[in-house]
């Protein structure tokens, strides 16, 4: 058996998979922000009541967490120092010297994770080709380490100029730290990100050092708690790039798991897209705090080399801290069930991005929440059953939610109570649809032919409204959609991504030297996976980032599985021109091309996910009907009867029209007027949208 555990901002989801039978057990509980491992232990103990000797039967626990990104956003990482080359202590504040809002004289930028007094310089200098311009002053470097020790730092980042070409000075500084300050945590840029661009490398290395002590402590504690429950298998952590890795690797490079949790739903979406041969799928995962989505084309989600966290302006590119690690190309916005509704200073309704989270949560949770949220509105619109939330384990307070909406939204806006409710629900759908249209368009997709896959506790509630606004033809909702993101853990390969920067012209490059770079990265990737206990055959995927000589941005080229010297430079140039023209509309054959970064993904074979088929049976659809409930119709602008179905009583081939509400323990699916639903052999719900 394998256990997937996804810690979100509001809920922690568990999926227990029996690899032999495909049988699944699920559990969902509120996240415990003070100590996320408390919720993990609660989930394992709850599942153990259903599965005797569970801990002994589990061979793997695969874990996704928001711990790293939350620590950066909330500034709860370690007190740390930065050691850099003379003259470069302010690189974190200078950044790219661009303004994300050029006409806003009050535009703010995120404060560096390292305050200026703790950013110290050492005398040394490498040239761009890796040759030594100025030797490292060992005595001064030692004094610098002593100074940081006196400051009481818990972690040190080392980022020296051009160390990606020659790490000798960085490694020497690391040795000095290990000797003079052995108890401190160390992150060197050569080990974290041996890649060109000083600011991005420094920012990523600093982020790694900032969260490293916290991550090491958490993973060590989690491992001990699982062991105390009798678990003797392996613990794996989800990577932001879509693979899974060992606890040891995650503890050493925590910056690689910064988007650990949100990635899982996308990996599940990739699997479902290939299973049903859907050329374009928009994976939509709406939880309690955020909505995450990704366009999957040809069964593959895009991976981007850089992203931002802790933005001062949530939707403004350039207003956050740059992190340069491979990450699934996600769109993440502050739109979840816990998103808070309020009246803005302009007297208009605003929903999110602030969230009530797990503590105190929405008003209806009865845990001290005072501000109305999307979940409160969904409950009062009739979409949720106050007595069947989380399968009846958590009762919701209708009266308190109603008072909150009336007093804080309806009355200040001067609108009716019903208008306030529908405004909250529809505005969050509009916010998500606007972001989704941009995301799909930027990646060359077309909403008119895209299938929407809904995950998360709130995703299926809002999928119908979102899909109508996008004009997409259908929605699919997998079984156990409320914990669907955790299913992605079981389809993700154990993998590790590596990158090395080395500039070389395409024509005239030493292809044998490039082959040695690739082989050294493959050897490092294999060591990483073998250290984690891998025994299966390891496969390698190579790619290269190329650009026009002198250009500032690169285009990634996938390489065939053969030695680099056997490749034809003309074929590589033709591939580059084709990719460039597809992305930008034209290319420039007269301008020479250069290689910049070389990339390798080392991966083990993915465990096949055996989906359990529903028992074939015939029957009357009325056997699955739980009754009727008045719920609000955005078309009729009034409460109308919705037929309520028990998802667990639906059978393959069952079909029915909307308006309908389909309930399962961890989520609720809303089917509006004009849509029809059918059930396939695996229990997926296929909602065909009405044609306008």
pLDDT in tens, 377-403: 999 999 999 998 888 888 899 999 999
Whether the per-residue pLDDT at 570 is higher than 90: the answer is yes
Residue 487 burial (10 A CB sphere; 0-12, 13-18, 19+)? buried
Top-confidence residue, 292 or 558? 558
pLDDT over 90 (residue 120): yes
Tell me: the pLDDT tens digits for 474-499?
999 998 888 877 777 888 778 888 99
Q: What would the mean pLDDT of 460-475 be, rounded to a whole number?
A: 94
Between CA 242 and CA 257 the distance in angstroms is: 10
Question: Higher model confidence: residue 97 or residue 555?
Answer: 555
Domain ranges of the chain: 73-215, 260-318+426-485, 495-603, 621-688
Residue 568 has pLDDT above 90, yes or no: yes
Residue 229 burial (CB < 10 Å; 0-12/13-18/19+)?
A: middle
Mean pLDDT value of segment 634-656: 93
CB hemisphere CA count around 609 (13 angstroms)? 24
Q: How far is CA 581 from CA 469, 574, 575, 578, 584, in A?
A: 31, 11, 10, 5, 5
How confident is residue 692, by pLDDT bands cut at 50, 70 and 90? low
Q: Is the pLDDT of residue 167 over 80?
A: yes
Looking at residue 613, what is its pLDDT?
A: 82
Q: How confident is the model at residue 585 (pLDDT cuts 50, 70, 90)?
A: confident
The pLDDT of residue 84:
97
Is the per-residue pLDDT at 95 higher than 80? yes
- Compute the Cα dihedral for 323, 326, 329, 333 and give only its sign: negative
Parallel, antiparallel or unpaired: strands 327-328 and 321-323: unpaired
Give the pLDDT mean for 15-27.
85
What is the reported pLDDT for 307?
82
Q: Is the pLDDT of residue 315 over 70?
A: no
Strand ranges (E), 228-290: 234-238, 244-246, 280-286
Distance in angstroms (rounded) separating the CA atoms of residues 56 and 346: 58
Residue with tokens 């396939």: 680
What does pLDDT average to over the chain?
89
pLDDT for res 412: 94
Q: 268 and 92 in contact (C-beta within 8 Å)?
A: no
Q: H helices of 8-126, where?
A: 36-48, 54-57, 67-73, 91-94
Length, in residues, of the chain = 692
| Mean pLDDT for the stretch of residues 105-114 | 86
> How far lies 91's CA from each of 96, 160, 205, in Å?
9, 11, 13
Residue 314: predicted pLDDT: 58
Confidence of residue 332 (pLDDT cuts 50, 70, 90): confident
Answer yes or no: are the C-beta atoms of 196 and 501 closer than 8 Å: yes
Average pLDDT for 174-186: 96
Q: Which helix (H) or strand (E) holds 22?
A: none
More confident residue, 228 or 259: 228
As a whole number of Å, the end-to-end CA separation of the chain is 46
The continuous run of DSSP H or E covering 202 comes out as helix 198-228
Inform me whether the pLDDT recorded for 413 exceeds 90. yes
pLDDT over 80 at 261, yes or no: no
* Strand partners for 662: 645, 669
- Residue 236's DSSP bridge partners are 62, 246
Average pLDDT over residues 28-39: 84
Domain 495-603 has CATH 3.30.1490: yes
Report which of residues 103 and 315 the model is more confident about.
Answer: 103
Name residues whose C-beta falls within 8 Å of residue 334's C-beta, 6 or more positions apart in sequence: 289, 290, 314, 352, 353, 354, 355
Mean pLDDT confidence for 311-325:
76
pLDDT digits (tens, 9 = 90+) for 37-92: 888 999 999 999 998 888 888 888 988 887 788 788 778 899 999 999 999 999 99
In the structure, what pLDDT confidence band is assigned to residue 114 with cuts at 50, 70 and 90?
very high
260-318+426-485: CATH topology is: Nucleotidyltransferase; domain 5 (3.30.420)
Mean pLDDT computed over 659-675: 93
How high is the pLDDT of residue 53?
Answer: 86
Q: Do domains 73-215 and 495-603 have the same CATH topology?
A: no
DSSP state of 667: -
Determine the Cα–Cα distance for residues 375 and 331; give it in Å rounded to an integer: 22
Q: 209 and 157 in contact (C-beta within 8 Å)?
A: yes
Region 132-156: mean pLDDT is: 96
Whole-structure pTM value: 0.82
Fold of 73-215: Dna Topoisomerase Vi A Subunit; Chain: A, domain 2 (3.40.1360)
Higher-confidence position of 521 and 32:
521
């Amino acid at each position: 058996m394998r256990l997937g555990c996804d810690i979100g901002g509001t809920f922690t989801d568990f999926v227990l998979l029996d690899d032999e039978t495909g049988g699944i057990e699920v559990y969902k509980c509120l996240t415990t922000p003070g100590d996320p491992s408390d919720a993990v232990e609660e989930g394992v103990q709850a599942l153990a009541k259903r599965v005797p000797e569970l801990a002994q039967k589990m061979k793997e626990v695969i874990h996704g967490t928001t711990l790293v990104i939350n620590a950066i956003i909330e500034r709860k990482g370690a007190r740390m120092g930065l050691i850099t080359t003379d003259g470069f202590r302010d690189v974190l504040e200078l950044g790219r010297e661009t303004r994300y809002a050029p006409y806003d004289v009050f535009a703010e930028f995120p404060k560096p994770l390292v305050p200026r007094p703790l950013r110290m310089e050492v005398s040394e200098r490498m040239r761009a080709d890796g040759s030594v311009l100025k030797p490292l002053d060992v005595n001064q470097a030692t004094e610098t380490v002593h100074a940081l020790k006196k400051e009481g730092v818990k972690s040190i980042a080392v980022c020296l100029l051009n160390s990606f070409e020659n790490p000798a000075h960085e490694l020497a500084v690391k040795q000095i730290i290990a000797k003079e300050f052995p108890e401190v945590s160390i992150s060197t840029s050569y080990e974290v990100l041996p890649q060109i661009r000083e600011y991005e490398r420094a920012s990523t290395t600093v982020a790694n050092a900032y969260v490293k002590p916290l991550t090491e402590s958490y993973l060590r504690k989690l491992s001990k708690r699982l062991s105390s429950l009798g678990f003797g298998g392996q613990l794996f952590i989800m990577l932001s790039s879509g693979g899974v890795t060992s606890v040891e690797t995650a503890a050493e490079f925590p910056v690689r798991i910064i988007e650990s949790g949100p990635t899982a739903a996308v990996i599940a979406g990739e699997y479902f897209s290939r299973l049903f041969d859907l050329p374009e799928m928009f994976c939509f995962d709406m939880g309690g705090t955020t909505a995450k989505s990704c366009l999957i084309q040809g069964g593959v989600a895009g991976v981007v080399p850089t992203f931002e966290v802790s933005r001062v302006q949530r939707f403004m590119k350039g207003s956050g801290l740059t992190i340069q690690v491979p990450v699934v190309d996600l769109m993440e916005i502050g739109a979840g069930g816990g998103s808070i509704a309020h009246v803005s200073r302009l007297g208009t309704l605003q929903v999110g991005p602030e969230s009530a989270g797990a503590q105190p949560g929405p008003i209806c949770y009865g845990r001290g929440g005072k501000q109305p949220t999307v979940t409160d509105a969904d409950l009062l619109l009739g979409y949720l059953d106050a007595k069947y939330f989380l399968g009846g384990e958590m009762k919701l307070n209708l009266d308190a939610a109603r008072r909150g909406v009336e007093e804080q939204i309806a009355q200040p806006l001067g609108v009716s109570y019903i208008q306030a409710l529908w405004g909250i629900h529809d505005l969050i759908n509009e916010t998500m649809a606007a972001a989704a249209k941009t995301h799909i368009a930027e990646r060359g997709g077309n909403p008119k032919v895209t299938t929407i896959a809904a995950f998360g506790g709130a995703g299926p509630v809002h999928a119908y409204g979102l899909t109508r606004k996008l004009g997409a033809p259908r929605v699919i909702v997998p079984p156990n959609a409320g914990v669907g993101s955790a299913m992605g853990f079981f389809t993700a390969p154990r993998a590790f991504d590596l990158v090395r920067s080395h500039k070389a012209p395409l024509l005239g490059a030493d292809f044998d030297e490039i082959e040695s770079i690739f082989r050294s990265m493959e050897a490092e990737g294999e060591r990483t996976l073998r250290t984690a206990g891998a025994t299966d055959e390891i496969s390698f995927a190579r790619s290269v980032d190329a650009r026009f000589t002198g250009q500032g941005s690169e285009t990634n080229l996938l390489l065939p599985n053969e030695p680099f010297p056997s490749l034809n430079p003309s074929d590589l140039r033709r591939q580059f021109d084709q990719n460039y023209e597809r992305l930008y509309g034209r290319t420039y054959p007269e301008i020479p091309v250069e290689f910049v970064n070389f990339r390798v993904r080392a991966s083990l074979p993915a465990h096949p996910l055996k989906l359990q088929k529903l028992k074939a049976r015939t029957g009357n659809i009325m056997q699955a009907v739980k009754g009727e409930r008045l719920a609000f119709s955005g078309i009729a602008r009034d409460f109308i009867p919705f037929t309520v179905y028990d998802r667990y009583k639906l059978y393959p081939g069952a079909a029915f029209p909307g308006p309908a509400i389909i309930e399962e323990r961890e989520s609720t699916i809303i089917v509006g007027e004009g849509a029809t639903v059918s059930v396939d052999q695996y229990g997926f719900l296929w909602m065909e949208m009405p044609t306008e």
